Amino acid sequence: MDVVSSSDVRALVESSERNSVSIFLPTHRAGVDTQQDPIRLKNLLRKAEEQLTERGLRPVEAKEFLEQAHALVNDSVFWRHQADGLAIFLSPKVFRTFRVPLAVEEKVVVNDRFRVKPLLPLLMSTGRFYLLALSQGHTRFFRCSQHAISEIQYEGLVQSMEEWSQYEDPDSEDHQFRHVRTNAAVGRSGTNTGRQTLFTGHGEDEPDAKDKALQFFRILDKSLHPVLKDESAPLLLAGVEYLLPLYKTANTHRNLLDEGILGNPEGKSPQELLAQAWPLVEPHFKQAQQQALARYEDFGGTERATSEIRAIVPAAHDGRVDTLFVAQGAEIPGVYDHGSHAVTLVGESGTGGEDLVDLAVAQTLVNSGHVFVLGRDEMPGRGDLAAFFRY
């Protein structure tokens, strides 16, 4: 599954070790430009080899170290299914690839931990949400931001009533309920009712049909857990009006929005759904951001709030950061000593450091904190970082 979740980032951060290689590459979904993507990856792998040799590996060892990534260059099936960006993480114990719905900056970083900040737009507490389009023929599940939408598909995701019905009772000869695939339900009289239903049958009572739909929604909700279990990002529903309250009864996600896209989503493209979704979720994000900034102001002048990186990085490492504010594009090179909790800043031309902003972001997310990326003029103190602590 290519979807990047908070648990994925947590695993990457916790598994980081010497010679952890992070590669980011903008890719193309279709067209002649897709032919250039494998070539660009090959060039980035050459840069990774150079960085590995600078860290003490012999050239032949560096090439062998990157063998799994090199194999992707000539994997035609792999390149046939790309998104807007590609992230590759490789270390002595890890090899992960993620197709991501954002055009990441081309970059290779070899360090003692993986670099995760380029994935921040997929994980930050503002602008990221999920969309569940409930329909008769094919329920769809999306990860979204203001400008990007990507369908999530993985083994175990229940996407159709037919699939669930076969699983529930595959040998049943009593087809009391049947799945309707048309865009509008066909009523008991055989005419188009103009209303989407999940079930029609042979004289069954409406309460029974609702009970059956509710059973399906509970199974569907459970099948979303691999993605939503550790997520705080909001979930928005799309579907005909009477289905939404039924799903809300079955829902277990902690941040299901009251609003929803009303109407049959079948036949609507992902971009059409996103255009309808963003006006509904934007106020939620604006409110959350303003509340977080207000809390920072409430803690102003106390030890619970600071814009000092020498305090933020150790607090993030210890899991004390509740909310982190990051200026768009901020990068602060430096060194953090885990033992002494000391932060040493390195000049822009210095060597041996890492991006301390990336480190603070990673540790905040790993410890279930919130991250907001703001314009410089929106930042508390107009600096690169600001945070308030849990204690």
Check pLDDT > 60 for residue 348.
Answer: no
Contacts of 338 (CB under 8 A, 6+ apart): 317
Tens-digit pLDDT profile for residues 243-273: 999 999 999 999 999 999 999 999 999 999 9
Using CA atoms, how far apart are residues 218 and 227, in angstroms rounded to an integer?
Answer: 16
Using CA atoms, how far apart are residues 310 and 289, in angstroms rounded to an integer?
Answer: 24
Tens-digit pLDDT profile for residues 110-151: 998 899 888 877 766 567 899 999 986 789 999 888 777 888
* Class of 1-115 in CATH: alpha beta
In the chain, ranges of CATH 3.30.960.10 domains? 1-115
Q: How far is CA 230 from CA 8, 71, 220, 227, 285, in A?
A: 10, 33, 17, 7, 19
pLDDT (average), residues 36-61: 96
pLDDT-based confidence at 162, cuts 50/70/90? low
Using CA atoms, how far apart are residues 131 and 125, in angstroms rounded to an integer?
Answer: 16
Check pLDDT > 90 for residue 31.
Answer: no
CATH architecture of structural domain 129-288: 2-Layer Sandwich (3.30)
In the chain, ranges of CATH 3.30.1330.30 domains? 300-391
Q: Give the CATH number of domain 300-391; options: 3.30.830.10, 3.40.140.10, 3.30.1330.30, 3.40.50.300.
A: 3.30.1330.30
Q: Tell me if 330 sits within 8 A of 309, measured CB to CB.
A: no
Q: How many residues does the chain have?
A: 391
pLDDT (average), residues 195-217: 63
